Amino acid sequence: MKRSRRHSRAGTSSGMALPMVLWAIALLTGVVLLLAGIIGGWMDEETRAGKAFRARQQALSGIAVAMSGVEPEDPLLNQQSKESDEGYHVVIKDESGLINPNFWLTPDHRDLFKAIFTAWGLPMNDSDAASDGLFDWQSPNPFRSLHGAKKAEYDAEGKAGLPPNAPFLSPDEMELVIGFAPVMKAHPDWRDLFTTSYSGKINLLRAPKEILTGILDLKPAQADAFITLRAGKDGIEGTADDNTNAVTLLPLNPAQKKLKDSFFGTDGKVLRIESTGTCNGVTHLITAIMSPEGTSTNNPQSGATLLGWSEK
């Protein structure tokens, strides 16, 4: 009897040992996999950080090249290494052809905004609300416009502290304006047509198609032909062969001539340099905006002032 009991206890112990061993193996396996995942995540994060650093360095290189005085069509603005999959791509623009809301939001010139919003397909009520809303945002007057919005309207929408009753710091602030949402829906690329870096009449030699058709009331085909003519033989704007006499060839009727005299000029330069650096699929964009003072086509950094710098 005693032997039988001892044998039974031994069998029970052996039977319990196997599951415990298996459980221990499973636990260790889980710990190993967890640690491997954590270490792998750290390595991936470090690798991406390294790529992001290299992409930023490439973008900075592009900015430096653009500010050295090269023309917008220069091959130096596009560099890519096949061996390391690194490089940069630079685009040079001129913001003097864009609309500065701080310059044009006056009682006498608010119609400029109504005209372009209507050209984008907005009903008159929406155009009035967007235009008056933009005006009220920057106006120090505590009273709201007919279709605009002031403190009470912003408080009602949960936007306490708005409007600032001060000029727009950047076009991005425009999307906070009550009544501006229909504009963003009708023209998703609206930001490309506004600036706060240039103050003055819209430079007709740099104005994009949407402004030529929306404000000057040119037909799309006329706007395309004018843009091609003013770009010169190389077809690239901002280069030495740009045709500054293209304005004299515009077929404008009396109403369009009045619009041209009211809203457009042929002077001004504010360089916008957009440099995108890449490294193995990771990108970094740097945007630098340079003042027109002392700038020239051949040497944009001569006496220039940095007005803005952003990275993403």
- pLDDT tens digit sequence for 211-248: 999 999 999 999 999 999 999 998 888 888 899 899 99
* pLDDT tens, position by position, 151-186: 999 999 999 999 999 999 999 999 999 999 999 999
CATH 1.10.40.60 in the chain: give the residue spans.
101-194
Contact (Cβ atoms closer than 8 angstroms) between residue 275 and residue 79 = no
Whether 297 has a pLDDT exceeding 50, the answer reads no
Q: Give the pLDDT band of residue 301 (cuts 50, 70, 90).
A: very low
* pLDDT tens, position by position, 61-86: 999 999 887 888 899 999 988 777 89
CATH of 101-194 given 3.50.50.60, 3.40.720.10, 1.10.1020.10, 1.10.40.60: 1.10.40.60
Whether 292 has a pLDDT exceeding 50, the answer reads yes
| Best CA proximity match to 175, nearest among 194, 151, 150 | 194
What per-residue confidence (pLDDT) applies to 61?
94
Tell me the pLDDT of the chain averaged across its residues: 86
Q: What is the average pLDDT across 279-300? A: 72
Contact (Cβ atoms closer than 8 angstroms) between residue 285 and residue 276 = yes
Whether 275 has a pLDDT exceeding 50, the answer reads yes
CA distance 239 to 93: 11
* pLDDT tens, position by position, 7-44: 555 555 555 676 777 777 777 777 677 766 666 665 55
Q: Give the pLDDT band of residue 2 (cuts 50, 70, 90).
A: very low
Cross-strand partners of 276 = 89, 285
Whether 294 has a pLDDT exceeding 50, the answer reads no
Q: Give the pLDDT band of residue 291 (cuts 50, 70, 90).
A: confident
Nearest-10 Cα torsion for 13, 19, 22, 24: -70
Q: What is the average pLDDT across 253-280? A: 93
